[in-house]
A and B are shown apart, each in its own frame.
Chain A
Amino acid sequence: MEKEIVISAHKLTKKFGDFIATNEITFKVYAGEIFGFLGANGAGKTTAMKMLCGLSIPSAGEATIAGFDVYRETEKIKQNIGYMSQKFSLYEDLTVVENIRFFGGIYGLSNKELKSKSEALIKTLGLEKEVDKLVGSLPLGWKQKLAFSVAILHEPKIVFLDEPTGGVDPVTRRQFWDLIYDASDRGITIFVTTHYMDEAEYCDRVSMMVDGYMKALDSPENLKKTHGAATMDEVFFDLARGAQRQGD
């Protein structure tokens, strides 16, 4: 059976002057897959993610996201993906329900869809008492769970998660991954970066960026075998320790 491909990148490259931030990365991501995008600081992860989200035009190479081209169809890409990061997720000075309405509207949901979806979402997350509270007043873990749910409100093909669980307590971090599993079960493809190596284990496949190159791509189990490592932490260390670049 041929698996549906939702991200396909071939020698995707981004240069800033002489500096090659992302260097000919080639990979595929399949529908419903949880794809871990790991790498050392400055390895070129953010640059690659921006290209995949249609926010930055590549210098060379090809890629399609949900079937859309990263050079010519960036607006189509944006409509078919969800995005959240630790740094930017929701508007702190809007209430819970206002954020849901705002992002749902941006993603093109009708008023009717918005109403039913936001009610369902609030119920799933148990936020009934918090609907009219400002998002800024919620604990970080709740914010992150809400941000993720908002990012997939329009049932995108793919959701990009940039360090979604940074600084989140260990219990909420696991609840967050329950949400990821649910979304993946519904066929949403998850593209996620993290600094927690236990979370790398939750991915179907994990890629490792080092100095702009994609140095490894395999299931956590195979990566551990190949590197003779007991944990993903050791795999990461083995691959990244020779890194020359130190970025943000």
Chain B
Amino acid sequence: MLAVTLDKIIKVYDKGHLAVDEVSFSVKQGELFGLIGPDGAGKTSIFRILTTLLLPDGGKASVMGFDVEDDFKKIRETVGYMPGKFSLYPDLSVEENLTFFATLFNTTLAENYDLIKDIYVQIEPFKDRRAGKLSGGMKQKLALCCALIHRPTVLFLDEPTTGVDTVSRKEFWEMLKRLKTQGITILVSTPYMDEATLCERIALIQDGKILSIDEPQNIIAQYPDPLYAIKSERMSELLKHLRKHPEIKSCFAFGEYHHISFKKDDEAVHKSLLQSLETKGHKQLDFKTMEPSIEDCFIRLMN
């Protein structure tokens, strides 16, 4: 059985805005699946439909075999959901929040302690502190504990790392990997393309439509053109010159380097580009082949 299925799911908001446009994908049991896309792509709408908080306007979806419309109560009993916005009780303490959510699901902190132990020990020193007074990183850990306290079959994490610095983001993904070993299916969304490779499979999503679904390595392998990185000592001008060059197919800034592909790719074309740039006064040109990243793939699929 598949843990999550979506079949042509549609969500329309007021004024006819199509937030989710016939989205179909499935998540296998025990899989760590990532929904990767910018704000407004439809990620949160999909999470709300799967957690039965929002009715779809078309299509079918199920979680652990239960239909999101007909069996919504069954789904609510079995899944864990961490919304993008902090949604615990700010005036209850850390421990009170956990006890509250455990009680809602007819369980206790003690019963499932082993599942949350790794995460909970990091916030346990502050267990008497009100949740509203916690730092961002600690709120995130408490929210994850509360979503796990009833040992869910499927865990939905909506942008758990948004606005979190790179160190805390790395720690969070380590936690997810450990949870995966416990057999919990995880559906996680993120606007950070570099987190895509930490998932087993991903769906790239933009404007309510799926651009691609596959293992990250396969999406990268499907990049159609050889990709190159180039830099000089004047990056801003280099970008302008590259955009005007007739042989360039695609060109965009990418951190330290600009990434480019050619209309016709051979050594003569490379040579003529480098020569042309040198005559335009670019010095210390560094030009090399490179493996595309998920962000390269996303940019290509958007155009």
Contact = CB atoms under 8 A, between A and B. Distances in A.
A187 interface: no
Interface in B253-268: 253-256
Nearest to B122: A246
Given A140-B38, A197-B166, A236-B167, A169 B206 contact: yes
Interface residues of B, number: 35
Interface residues of A, number: 41
Nearest to A185: B236
B137 A167 contact: no
A42 B136 contact: yes
A169 B168 CA distance: 22
Nearest to B167: A240
B165 A41 contact: yes
A241 B162 contact: no
Interface string A172-204: 101001000100010000000001111111100
Nearest to B136: A248
Interface stretch (B20-28, B110-118, B177-185, B294-302): B294-302
A62 interface: no
Contact of B163 (A166, A169, A171, A233): A166
A231 interface: yes
Interface string B229-258: 000000110000000000000001111100
B138 interface: yes
Given A169-B206, A197-B166, A237-B170, A41 B137 contact: yes
B163 A195 contact: yes
A138 to B, nearest CB: 10
B135 interface: yes
A82 interface: no
A35 B248 CA distance: 31
Contacts of A233: 166, 194
A220 interface: yes
A237 B167 contact: yes
Contacts of B299: 170-171
B239 to A, nearest CB: 8
Interface in A65-101: none
Nearest to B297: A170
Given A42-B135, A171-B303, A243 B167 contact: yes
A207 B136 CA distance: 22
Nearest to B161: A195
Nearest to B138: A246
Interface of A: 39-42, 137, 139-141, 163, 166-172, 174, 177, 181, 185, 195-202, 220, 231-233, 236-237, 240-241, 243, 245-248
Interface of B: 15, 37-41, 135-138, 162-168, 170, 191-194, 206, 235-236, 252-256, 295, 298-299, 302-303
18 contacts: A39-B165, A42-B135, A140-B38, A163-B163, A167-B38, A170-B38, A170-B193, A174-B253, A181-B236, A195-B166, A198-B255, A202-B255, A231-B255, A233-B166, A236-B166, A237-B170, A246-B138, A246-B168
Q: Which 10 A-B pairs have the closest CB atoms?
A: A198-B255, A169-B38, A167-B39, A246-B137, A201-B255, A246-B135, A40-B165, A248-B136, A201-B256, A140-B39
Given A167-B38, A171-B303, A246-B136, 7 more contacts: A167-B162, A169-B298, A171-B302, A198-B254, A220-B256, A231-B255, A246-B138
